[in-house]
Structure 1
Amino acid sequence: MNWSQVSLASVCDKPQYGAIAKGSHQQIGPRFVRQTDIVLGRIDWSTVPYCDLSPSDFNKYSLRRGDLLISRLGNGVGNAAIVQNANDAVFAGYLVRFRTLASKADPDFVGYQLQSDAWRQHVVGFRSGAAQPTLNAQQMGEFKFLLPPLHEQAAIAATLGALDDKIESNRRVISIASDLLDAIADRSSQDLEGAPLSELTYNSRSVVDPSRIGDELVDHFSLPAFDSAVWPERTPASAIMSNKLVVDRPSILISRLNPRFNRTWWVVPEGSVIALASTEFSCLSAETRPELAALWLAVRDRYFRGELTHRVTGTSGSHQRIRPDDLLSIEVPNTRQLSDAVKQRVLDLLDLIHIRRREIVRLTALRDGLLPELLSGRVRVLETPRAVRGVVT
């Protein structure tokens, strides 16, 4: 295997720190990529603000396709992204830019190296014990990895990229469907009479002690699982602490903890394993799936979401909760009055979102499993295309 070990610095131009500027939501200049805009190895352009920069600074800090951005400070230190679309943008001061030398390295291949366990271990080696974790450009550049010939780098990147493109496509479908659902909810709120939420649903309060289930695998619907992927974690029941809600039918979970972070979860238990949910959720059910879909519109109503935050108890900003009975007393549009056709349309959109999230989980697991094998050379790229084609088509 004609692969050589190299350092990040040896295959890149001199690294560069980003611009010092203030972000703004007003379109006053170029887009301004910050470390918080880096999500799962890519830039989340939906959160990127603008900034006011002089022409000379824009030229100095402007991004182009293939740039590698690495966060150098804070809890996200070491998070990295490859720029796929420059979008007339510059990068912020808490980021460091590396540009690969075209004669030595494929930027996408190096970008995947910065998503590897080896990179995370490299970062941890410098941040240990620091009150405010930091990583400077020199330390980043010392990262070592195996580098195959250019043609094989490109093939590896293309294989992993096909999976990432499909994952991103699914995310776009979810975003569009979610926006459509909220638009339907807004329209419904104008046309329907109001009613207490308790008249549209019942709150499932059946709980179980996971330790009694033993080592059997369960789907755990927790707040961290929602924040990570809006998908449950499959884990041994014995690893779960404290009593959990039993979710034995399609339901809607609404977080009662810190409801200013609106966590509304359309839940469809897989059936093959027990489904458990954190007691920080209220678990709402309905007689039929179309009625449950209509209920989704009610709990996405703007007034309802605002009232969740107004009715919390607790003085700590990080531990405010709304009581279950208070949640059920909030007035919502009486979505039971909607036509069967509208209910079915909403149900179809919710099922589409659920299917696409399941697909993201499957593709992500495949990508994460392939990544270390391909980057180490244990699996050569010519061995993978048939398997990859089977899941991305």
Structure 2
Amino acid sequence: MLNANLLDLISTIYDKFCNGFPATKRKTIKDIFYTRAETYKIAENKSTKVWHFSIPNFDNGKVVKLENTSEIKSNKKVVNSFSVLISKLNPKFKRIWAPNLDSYKKYKSVASPEFIQVTGSNAEQQAVAFAVLNSEDYSRFLISNATGSTNSRQRVKPQIANSYKIPFNTSEMKNLGVCLKPLLQQIQQNESENAHLQKLKETLLTKLF
């Protein structure tokens, strides 16, 4: 419930930021943020532990799991610092992660290639990117541009997803980031605590049964 309220507040602030911008003062996501990610080759990193941001892990309580690459069958993408991950698979089901990598130390963080990665240069830009990708307008944009042979396997091409245009003004966007940063950081902290409690629960249940 707390995170839901924080998400509503982020959406309200971002909507207010967007209102009143003339259509000419807009740039695409790829013009503002970094949209590439290094490939993590499983064959070159055998029997290595990684923090795995996967679609199943998201759907199973949005809990990042520490997994061994021997159990991972396909190449992944290295998660950049200050990145936001949003699924290109079946966009009508919103899957969005904005990890604070300080919570995932010691091991490398990798993500399923089903996630599109949008990266800021600092925590403020990460918060802005999160607000953009979490917005209802962006969700509608992804859904309207999804293609696929069946409704259950719809995908959005990354180049299309990153062509979405948003209001842009350097100083105002910086102010927006300063405003949104503590809200996103609270969400990140709550998610990290939930993941810790989930792991503790699983450990205790294993010992009891």
* Larger RCO: 1 or 2 (CA < 8 Å, sep 6+): 2
- 2:12 equivalent to 1:183: yes
Q: Cα offset for 1:372?
A: 6.0
Q: 1:214 aligns with which of 46, 54, 70?
A: 46
- 2:103 equivalent to 1:274: no
Q: How far does the alpha carbon of each residue in 1:120-175 deviate from its partner, in whole angstroms, 9 at most, with x for none?
A: xxxxxxxxxxxxxxxxxxxxxxxxxxxxxxxxxxxxxxxxxxxxxxxxxxxx2212
Cα distance in 1 for partners of 2:2, 2:63 equals: 16
- 2:96 equivalent to 1:264: yes
For residues 291-370 of structure 1, the aligned pairs below 5 Å read 291-334=125-168, 336-338=170-172, 340-370=174-204
Cα distance in 1 for partners of 2:98, 2:89 equals: 17
**8 Å Cα contact 1:186-1:302 kept in structure 2:** no
Task: Give the structure 2 partner of residue 199 of structure 1.
Answer: 31
Q: Secondary structure at the match of 1:307?
A: helix
Q: Secondary structure at the match of 1:329?
A: coil
Q: Secondary structure at the match of 2:43?
A: helix
Task: Give the structure 2 partner of residue 245 of structure 1.
Answer: 77
Q: Cα offset for 1:215?
A: 1.5
- 2:2 equivalent to 1:173: yes
Cα distance in 2 for partners of 1:277, 1:190 equals: 34
Relative to the length of structure 2, the TM-score reads 0.88
For residues 54-93 of structure 1, the aligned pairs below 5 Å read none
Q: Secondary structure at the match of 2:92?
A: coil
Q: Secondary structure at the match of 1:203?
A: coil
Cα distance in 2 for partners of 1:213, 1:312 equals: 33
Structure 1 residue ranges (4+ consecutive) displaced by more than 4 angstroms after TM superposition: 371-374
Cα distance in 1 for partners of 2:92, 2:125 equals: 26
Q: Cα offset for 1:333?
A: 2.9
RMSD over aligned Cα atoms: 2.0
Q: Cα offset for 1:209?
A: 1.6
Cα distance in 2 for partners of 1:248, 1:329 equals: 20
Cα distance in 1 for partners of 2:206, 2:88 equals: 39
Cα distance in 2 for partners of 1:336, 1:299 equals: 19
Q: Return the structure number with greater helix share.
A: 2
Q: Cα offset for 1:337?
A: 4.5
**8 Å Cα contact 1:304-1:332 kept in structure 2:** no
Cα distance in 1 for partners of 2:138, 2:181 equals: 20
Q: Cα offset for 1:335?
A: 6.7
- 2:68 equivalent to 1:236: yes
For residues 366-377 of structure 1, the aligned pairs below 5 Å read 366-371=200-205
Q: 2:56 aligns with which of 210, 218, 224?
A: 224
Cα distance in 2 for partners of 1:339, 1:201 equals: 12
**8 Å Cα contact 2:78-2:111 kept in structure 1:** yes
Cα distance in 1 for partners of 2:32, 2:84 equals: 12
Q: How far does the alpha carbon of each residue in 1:314-356 deviate from its partner, in whole angstroms, 9 at most, with x for none?
A: 1211111111111111222337452544312311111111111
Task: Say if 1:288 and 1:369 are closer, same or farther in 2 by CA, change over 3 A.
Answer: closer
Q: Cα offset for 1:260?
A: 1.0
The letter for the 2-side match of 1:176 is: N
Cα distance in 2 for partners of 1:339, 1:212 equals: 40
Cα distance in 1 for partners of 2:157, 2:163 equals: 10
Relative to the length of structure 1, the TM-score reads 0.49
Which ranges of structure 1 fall in alignment gaps of 5 or more residues? Answer: 1-171, 377-393
Q: How many residues align?
A: 204
